[in-house]
Amino acid sequence: MKENHRKAVILLSGGLDSSTTLAIAKQEGYEAYALSFRYGQRHDREILAAQNVAKYFAVKKHIVLDIDLRSFGGSALTDDIPVPKERGIAEIAGDIPVTYVPARNTIFLSFALAWAEVLEAYDIFIGVNALDYSGYPDCRPEYIDAFTKMANLATKAGVGGKTFSIHTPLIRMTKSEIIQKGISLGVDFSLTTTCYDPSPSGDACGTCDACILRLKGFRESGITDPIAYQKKDKS
Amino acid sequence: MKENHRKAVILLSGGLDSSTTLAIAKQEGYEAYALSFRYGQRHDREILAAQNVAKYFAVKKHIVLDIDLRSFGGSALTDDIPVPKERGIAEIAGDIPVTYVPARNTIFLSFALAWAEVLEAYDIFIGVNALDYSGYPDCRPEYIDAFTKMANLATKAGVGGKTFSIHTPLIRMTKSEIIQKGISLGVDFSLTTTCYDPSPSGDACGTCDACILRLKGFRESGITDPIAYQKKDKS
């Protein structure tokens, strides 16, 4: 395998954040390898979005892995637990919600690390956000730092003197700033999907935490969200 | 969910080490939840062994997850790379071999963490060994420590004041000591499988690194290995 330090693995969910993250990696000159997961999420329409976004940005390769997190359950996204609706921003920013999927980012980053090591890519991008987020512990900088330390002890490459970096370009940005950044980099947000509980035809619900944060971000950035909603939020 | 601090998730490959680890967890009074992976390994006969061992120890639940690491390749266990044969102990203990699967233990432990959090189990057992091992970086104590730190930042439980522990009871034992420990705890080693490259009927090759280490361990412990081999090592 030819050594090439400009390869990067990008975790791509098909949402607004990961699509912007992919655009940033491309802008920084990385050859992009996108990785998505069909993990039993109720909103697996996001896989289609990820495929469209990966194609739009002409990634070098896109892998969609099947991992069945329904075997464990424990989240509104993978189990028969209702997705919360119509919550206010303060409530969303409060406790860790039932849409938290145990260890999800750890699982995703572990697979990204595996692929990165095979590719001889030492850069991994993930669109986590510690500001306008849903209170998930695995979106915080201290978590990312700890994962990076572990990754460099876990791998043949790490032991051999290479250093894996986890890039989190959105971690300190507001949703509105992310949207503006995405627009400036040519992200077509009509391809993205954010909703935890879309209709069978794929329209966003407009009232789950993810929709509320997305809609707030578009409103604050003065840009119209191009995707279809069953019901716009009223705030 | 009832809180119960005596539940443990045990990574169970169906090999000698993980089977002994399960026996140790049971002896320590844990209610055992066994987790195995069909990851595209050429020796997927170990899944059958894991199922038999899980049954033998009457675990509370055994989950076998499908995760396709062949999508990434990069190892003799998941790709079209020949498994090394007839190597001496010094050679085995030298460089990290081609049977190394990038980030495998990190992926396995991440899933174990996810399940543990759902179960409200705060103890995870893994049969890694830093002494009579194959030179894998993700078997070392410093790696396990780093994973533990990361796990406690990654999770809702960790943020909520619970502490996950990764138990590695075999980490400083020789293969011979592991076998003796297993025998003392009633492990039926005839149920286990170790070989990286078994015959279609399931007989061990006797000449891959894993077989050589296993046979050496049995020889040194003065116990006869009860499994069938195509060819015994000659040393």
Q: Which domain holds residue B156?
A: 7-221
Q: Does A226 reside within a domain?
A: no
Q: Which of A68, A118, A140 sits opposite B65 (nearest CB)?
A: A68
pLDDT band at A132 (very low <50, low <70, confident <90, very high): low
Phi, psi of B40 (to 5 degrees): 95, 15
Q: Does B234 reside within a domain?
A: no
pLDDT for the residue numbered B134: 60
Contact B206, B215 (CB under 8 A): yes
Under DSSP, the state recorded for B231 is S
Does the distance separating the beta carbons of A110 and B110 come in below 8 Å? Answer: yes
Task: Measure the CA–CA gap between B77 and B216, rounded to whole angstroms.
Answer: 22
Contact B144, A129 (CB under 8 A): no
Chain A environment of B117 (Cβ under 8 Å):
74, 102-103
Amino acid sitting at position A102: P
Mean of per-residue pLDDT scores for chain A: 91
Q: Does B233 reside within a domain?
A: no
Does the distance separating the beta carbons of A74 and B117 come in below 8 Å? Answer: yes
For A60-125, the DSSP string reads SEEEEEE--GGGT--STTTSS-PPPBS--HHHHTSSPPTT--TTHHHHHHHHHHHHHHHHT--EEE
Number of structural domains (chain A) is 1
- How many A/B residue pairs have CB atoms within 8 Å? 141
Mean pLDDT of all residues in A208-220? 94
pLDDT band at A53 (very low <50, low <70, confident <90, very high): very high
pLDDT band at A3 (very low <50, low <70, confident <90, very high): very low
Contact B113, B11 (CB under 8 A): no
The sign one gets for the Cα dihedral B79, B80, B83, B84 is: negative
pLDDT tens, position by position, A153-165: 999 888 888 999 9
Strands in B7-11's sheet, in edge-to-edge order, are B61-66, B31-38, B7-11, B123-125, B165-167
Q: Does A1 reside within a domain?
A: no
On the question of pLDDT at B138 being above 60, the answer is yes
Q: Does A24 reside within a domain?
A: yes
Does the distance separating the beta carbons of B154 and A143 come in below 8 Å? Answer: yes
Mean pLDDT of all residues in B160-182? 95
pLDDT band at A16 (very low <50, low <70, confident <90, very high): very high
pLDDT band at B132 (very low <50, low <70, confident <90, very high): low
On the question of pLDDT at A131 being above 80, the answer is no
Q: Does B92 reside within a domain?
A: yes
Does the distance separating the beta carbons of B155 and A137 come in below 8 Å? Answer: yes
Q: Does A11 reside within a domain?
A: yes
pLDDT for the residue numbered A60: 97
Interface of A with B (CB under 8 A): 63, 65-69, 71-74, 96, 100-107, 110-111, 113-115, 117-118, 137-138, 140, 142-143, 146-147, 149-151, 153-156, 158-159
Virtual torsion, Cα B46, B134, A104, B114, nearest 10 deg: 60
Does the distance separating the beta carbons of A151 and B138 come in below 8 Å? Answer: no
Question: What do you get for the CA distance between the two ends of chain B, in Å?
Answer: 53
Cα–Cα nearest to A112, from A102, A103, A123: A123
Closest residue in A to B100 (Cα–Cα): A156
pLDDT band at A235 (very low <50, low <70, confident <90, very high): very low
Cα–Cα nearest to A175, from A234, A220, A125: A220
Top-confidence residue, B231 or A57: A57
Interface of B with A (CB under 8 A): 63, 65-69, 71-74, 96, 100-107, 110-111, 113-115, 117-118, 137-138, 140, 142-143, 146-147, 149-151, 153-156, 158-159
* Residue B131, token pair as written in the block: 């002494």
pLDDT for the residue numbered B4: 43
- HEC-encoded secondary structure of A48-60: HHHHHHHHHCCCC
Q: Does B26 reside within a domain?
A: yes
Q: Which of B63, B71, B146 sits opposite A149 (nearest CB)?
A: B146
pLDDT for the residue numbered B235: 46
Q: Which of A106, A111, A113 sits opposite B154 (nearest CB)?
A: A106
Q: Residue B109: give its domain's CATH number.
A: 3.40.50.620
Those residues with Cβ within 8 angstroms of residue A230's Cβ, 6 or more apart along the chain or in another chain? A199, A203, A204, A205, A206
On the question of pLDDT at B224 being above 50, the answer is yes
Q: Which residue has the tokens 């206010």?
A: A88
pLDDT tens, position by position, A67-97: 999 999 888 888 888 888 988 888 887 778 8
Residue A137: C-alpha distances to residues A66, B110, B186 (Å): 24, 15, 41
Mean pLDDT of all residues in A104-128? 96
Chain A environment of B73 (Cβ under 8 Å):
118
Q: Which residue has the tokens 């289609």?
A: A48
Does the distance separating the beta carbons of B103 and A72 come in below 8 Å? Answer: no
Does the distance separating the beta carbons of A155 and B137 come in below 8 Å? Answer: yes
Beta strand A61-66 with B7-11 is: unpaired
Task: Measure the CA–CA gap between A103 and A108, rounded to whole angstroms.
Answer: 9
Mean pLDDT of all residues in A170-195? 96
ipTM: 0.92
Mean pLDDT of all residues in A126-136? 80
For A162-223, the DSSP string reads ---EEE-TTTT--HHHHHHHHHHTT--GGG----SS--TT--B-S-BHHHHHHHHHHHHHT-
Mean pLDDT of all residues in B210-216? 93
Q: Which of A62-71, B75-84, B106-115 is predicted least confidently?
A: B75-84
Closest residue in A to B105 (Cα–Cα): A154
pLDDT tens, position by position, B4-48: 459 999 999 999 999 999 999 999 999 999 999 999 887 778 999
Does the distance separating the beta carbons of A146 and B153 come in below 8 Å? Answer: yes
Under DSSP, the state recorded for B24 is H
Mean of per-residue pLDDT scores for chain B: 91
The sign one gets for the Cα dihedral B104, A147, B137, B192 is: negative
